[in-house]
Structure 1
């Protein structure tokens, strides 16, 4: 415990050049690495075998599970880099690095998932999937640009957070539903990311719950990739829960705002009666 405090105090006191990287920055770079490796895994394990005709279902399953696991690890890095930056001192490069890493892991990677699924799915449409993938990518770009330019009140995000949007898009792909309804659902997720609905930031208990959710998701993916009994059920339950969470979150936020406005109106009426 003393060594940890001493290391933290040393980092807080040490002079830092504008181009020096902090501990949080290395976690951010880990997020970017996970995003790239996820794209690489989907390309070598799913897309290329499909094009050459050498792919098999177990291989595709293992590669897809590996890619999603990497993105979950990227989400974990994204969660911890903010916590570490608040505990320790962040660098001048921190915000820019975070946006670029998020664009890789939660913008390009899920868009690539959608495009590849449109190619390998029996009822897929390559052009439509490419258009929807572009929609996801542009939504993340706009979401990140607005995050940098617009000042929000503490504790909330404007629009669905990119990690949550990316995981929801991938959950839809993993469920492998009918193609057209899936494209409509993915387009809806892209819309939620650029919407003005306020989402709470993962802090305190919410951050702990998010971390536990990531660990459980990785376990479900591992069981599914290994072909263990019940692995398919676990995957479907986890993916369905992710989609349900994404669908309910804006409804809960809107309900909280409506209740708050109702309470404000009642308070004003009570004040006017007393006055």
Structure 2
């Protein structure tokens, strides 16, 4: 019998080749099929890492900022705790970026989508809302009730955003409403800049509105995913410099926060501009066709 190469199918007859291809396809389907809910995939561990980062960020803010403020202790660890919390959320955003990529490359699990929503709720819903609430408590001249109300608005916006993501089917490569990680990072950037209280709350409310809006955002894939990862790494570096008190650390933190807010403000404008351009192009094409 002729020796065959199972990968190239060299030396096989038609029937043998067909049978081997069928078995290979069955094996590939088995490898790519979602695992049972009793088994976690590699992507699930990344998703759980996102949830852990969200919890640790809340813990860092509580022990490093809120408790010292309530007990009247020294405010020395405030900068370090804030930088640690934001860095944890950036790492959580990296986990959220990669878990989908890993799930598409490797076998996913039946729990994947549910775990992802729950982890996102912790890291990009509860954590930024908690940031806003604590900011309202520790910031001089603030209104705790008003900050709690805006914090609740952020949380509800993320809940609605995640529920709609699960229920509404969009075109491939498109998000409806500002993605939760981007919204969370923008809310935290506003808090880090510590603007006047009422204008800051209005900006945060605007971010919450963008998350539940129907504006279409592109998913971070390919070059956009690489740019997003690079942005996260640079942001972590800026926060580390700021927390360590290095020369220019405060400037780097402010530049990064302003850039994040600008990006969040420009994204819907660019999307709207593109849609208007498409509509104008369609109208011109119809006029030209009618002539």
TM-score by length of 1: 0.93
Which residue does the alignment assign to 1:201? 219
Q: Which runs of 5+ in 1 are unaligned?
A: 1-8
C-alpha distance in 2 between matches for 1:52 and 1:181? 28
Which residue does the alignment assign to 1:4? none
After TM superposition, list the pairs within 5 Å mapping 1:24-39 onto structure 2.
24-39=43-58
The CA deviation at 1:123 is 1.8
Could you give the per-residue CA deviations for residues 184-228 of structure 1, whole angstroms, max 9, x where no partner exists?
A: 000000000000000000000000000000000000000000111
Q: CA RMSD in A?
A: 1.4
- The answer on 1:137 being equivalent to 2:149 is no
Query: How many residues of Structure 1 are paired with residues of Structure 2 in the alignment?
Result: 264
**Residue of 102, 111, 115 corresponding to 1:84:** 102
Which residue does the alignment assign to 1:249? 267
Could you give the per-residue CA deviations for residues 9-34 of structure 1, whole angstroms, max 9, x where no partner exists?
A: 79926883233111111100000000
C-alpha distance in 1 between matches for 2:230 and 2:74? 33
C-alpha distance in 2 between matches for 1:82 and 1:50? 39
C-alpha distance in 2 between matches for 1:269 and 1:186? 43
- The answer on 1:93 being equivalent to 2:111 is yes
Could you give the per-residue CA deviations for residues 34-65 of structure 1, whole angstroms, max 9, x where no partner exists?
A: 00000000000000011001132x30000000
Q: Which runs of 5+ in 2 are unaligned?
A: 1-27
1:216–1:15 CA distance, 2 compared to 1 (3 A): closer
TM-score by length of 2: 0.88
Contact 1:160 1:195 in 2 (8 A): yes
Which residue does the alignment assign to 2:66? 47
Could you give the per-residue CA deviations for residues 57-103 of structure 1, whole angstroms, max 9, x where no partner exists?
A: x3000000000000000000000001111111221111000000000
**Residue of 142, 150, 162 corresponding to 1:124:** 142
